[in-house]
Structure 1
């Protein structure tokens, strides 16, 4: 069984908690890596990847992802299967909701992207995480919809696990 590499960045600990829940929901082996302590080689060793980031400020990547971002263009994602997880606040940042995923997507879109989810159930103005009418990954608003987080994770993992 091939291992899935889950890379995340977290400032407040929320994304770190979310990736632990995601790992626990999988029946396959998932190895978690904080992007702050990761290298290009760490990512390249996996054919199956999950990238998770909250969105900060006006649609920015989390700080550790932002520092690592220039390295992403050095990685060939064309033979990789990638799922994305974004955290955001649709009420206070509705015009840049989960835009961090849009930043990551531009690097990984040459690979096989899995785990797109419906935009239904969210109220936001704009998001670069929407492509062809769907979110490009699992979207969580743990600020305003915390009661939906566990169910969204369970449903998403069931959906993507077969593609990994």
Structure 2
């Protein structure tokens, strides 16, 4: 069985595409094919040594299905399971999509929400990402000068996505000892 599980929520399919780019960048049998979170159970996540979790930010900064009026394949039903899970000893990397131009006051806030959930469940979060190269007013996904995971803006910076994914995955290989 693969050591790394990739799970994502998606409304438009952009987060799924980035999840696939991440899997491809690993180029390893150690990484399972990405799974939409609405098709997963907590046991599916706990079966992996390492997790990569991804989310878009919808509306004014919410995780899909939480505090937003949106039609999303969402984290909403899964978050309570994740909150009650014991993630102690698990290394978790996060990635989030957002639009820094249209939603610069809540840029990738859902990534920050997901970070809070997995941290409170005991996970060790790895894969922080520098905030250089983004223009936004506010983000709940910042920890100091770094984002709590890889940040992708497919609306305004899609040309940067492949290189950002490649660089991030290279750091995760080290963090995950792959």
Which residue, 57, 70, 79 being the options, matches 1:55?
57
Moved over 4 A (4+): none
Distance 1:12 1:57 in 2: 13
Check the 8 A contact 1:15/1:53 in 2, yes or no: yes
Measure how far apart 1:149 and its partner are.
0.5
Distance 1:76 1:27 in 2: 29
User: Comparing both structures, which one devotes a greater share of its residues to strand?
Assistant: 1
Matched, 1:85 2:95: yes
Distance 1:50 1:144 in 2: 24
Matched, 1:143 2:144: no
Distance 2:135 2:16 in 1: 25
5+ residue gaps, structure 1: none
Q: What are the superposed Cα offsets for residues 98-127 of structure 1, whole Å, 9 maximum, x if unpaired?
A: 011111111212322111111010000111
Which residue, 33, 39, 42 being the options, matches 2:41?
39
SS of alignment partner, residue 5 of structure 1: strand
Measure how far apart 1:67 and its partner are.
2.2
Distance 1:92 1:11 in 2: 17
SS of alignment partner, residue 78 of structure 2: helix
Distance 2:52 2:41 in 1: 15
Matched, 1:159 2:161: no
Check the 8 A contact 2:101/2:156 in 1, yes or no: yes
5+ residue gaps, structure 2: 66-73
Which residue, 106, 116, 120 being the options, matches 1:96?
106
Give the structure-2-normalised TM-score.
Answer: 0.88
Distance 1:62 1:16 in 2: 14
RMSD between aligned residues: 1.3
Check the 8 A contact 1:40/1:74 in 2, yes or no: no
| Matched pairs, number | 164
SS of alignment partner, residue 175 of structure 2: coil
* 1:30 alignment partner in structure 2: 31
